[in-house]
Amino acid sequence: MKALATLTALAALAVAFPAQAEFQLGSRYVDNDGDLIADIPEDSADWIDPDTLIFAYTPVEDPAVYAEVWQGFLDHMAEVTGKNVQFFPVQSNAAQIEAMRAGRLHVAGFNTGSNPLAVACAGFRPFAMMAAEDGSFGYEMEIITYPDSGIEEVEDIRGETLAFTSETSNSGFKAPSAILMAEFGMEAGTDFEPTFSGAHDSSILGVANKDYIAASIANSVKGRMIDRDVVSEDQLVTIYQSQTFPTTGYGTVYNLAPDLQEKIQEAFFSFEWEGSALAEEFGRNGEDQFIPITFQEDWAVIRTIDEANGVVYECN
């Protein structure tokens, strides 16, 4: 296996691709304070205060597994807010965004690449992210294959099929698309054939089982799957690793009553990780706390990637 390639500067992408207009919210939202996320409505008549809060985690291959992982945290949120809290399993990033936009989803963790679309088009207000004890956070995009596939370096993907996850995923589509063009002059549909698996774990399983010859994935998901013995390290070979990106962002829909939004934030930052199912699952990535984040600062690199890919958010 050849040495891992590393993307050292996103600035090169901004040069390689024309930047789009400055990030803007959909027409139903306002941002008077300039923090790039939807303001809470000023008129209390526009607030919602549901008896049951609906929570959704980013789409995964087996939502039932994560329903159990999150249950202890949701019980804590129920205690802090005084509300019933229900886990809502979503099958796709698009379905998750549409659920929040339609008012059926109140609290959510949106994956890295979906965050800008959720902010722009669904009124998502991210405020937290998982991190290690020292405050470090993030994951890397990897392009993986299987042993003896004939793919030893990125250039070997030419003429082959590369599995992405979904078009709203950062590591599963946006980042590799920009990197492959900027660093290797390779474009989907011209230099290789793209296919979409729908989820990172589906792509990883697909490569491990030799259904896909190569895939772009989040290595945090890969790490958890290896730790759970879903796949083994000797089934996978990494031929590219990116710089570190922010991971899943957690937040609320913009029009929840302000005091309820504050209680939900309190639930995240007061949750006791030690001995929890969250710690058991996400501790595999070294994550053991929620830390405060801002979309404006922590997602700047992702907005740069979107600009590089010519992404324009059209919110109907």
146-158 per-position pLDDT tens digit: 999 999 999 999 9
Q: Return the domain boundaries, the chain.
A: 17-136+247-308, 138-245
Contact 74, 56 (CB under 8 A): no
The residue to which tokens 């599995």 are assigned: 163
Which CATH architecture group holds 138-245? 3-Layer(aba) Sandwich (3.40)
**Which two tokens mark 121?**
């088009």
- Phi first, then psi, for residue 55 (nearest 5°) are -115, 140
pTM above 0.85, yes or no: no
* First CA to last CA distance, the chain: 46
- CATH number belonging to domain 17-136+247-308: 3.40.190.10
Q: Tell me the pLDDT tens digit for each residue of 228-287.
A: 899 999 999 999 999 889 999 999 999 999 999 999 999 999 999 999 999 999 998 889
pLDDT confidence of residue 315:
82
Please tell me the distance from the alpha carbon of residue 86 to that of residue 161, in angstroms, as a whole number. Answer: 39
pLDDT confidence of residue 316:
66
Please tell me the distance from the alpha carbon of residue 157 to that of residue 161, in angstroms, as a whole number. Answer: 7
Please tell me the distance from the alpha carbon of residue 95 to that of residue 103, in angstroms, as a whole number. Answer: 12
Contact 43, 69 (CB under 8 A): no
pLDDT confidence of residue 307:
84
pLDDT confidence of residue 61:
67
Residues in the chain, pLDDT under 70: 1-21, 61, 316
Please tell me the distance from the alpha carbon of residue 163 to that of residue 310, in angstroms, as a whole number. Answer: 21
Q: Which run of H or E residues covers position 181? A: helix 175-184
Phi/psi-derived region of residue 54, left when phi > 0, alpha when psi is between -120 and 50, beta in every other case: beta
Q: Parallel, antiparallel, or unpaired for β 124-131 and 249-253?
A: antiparallel
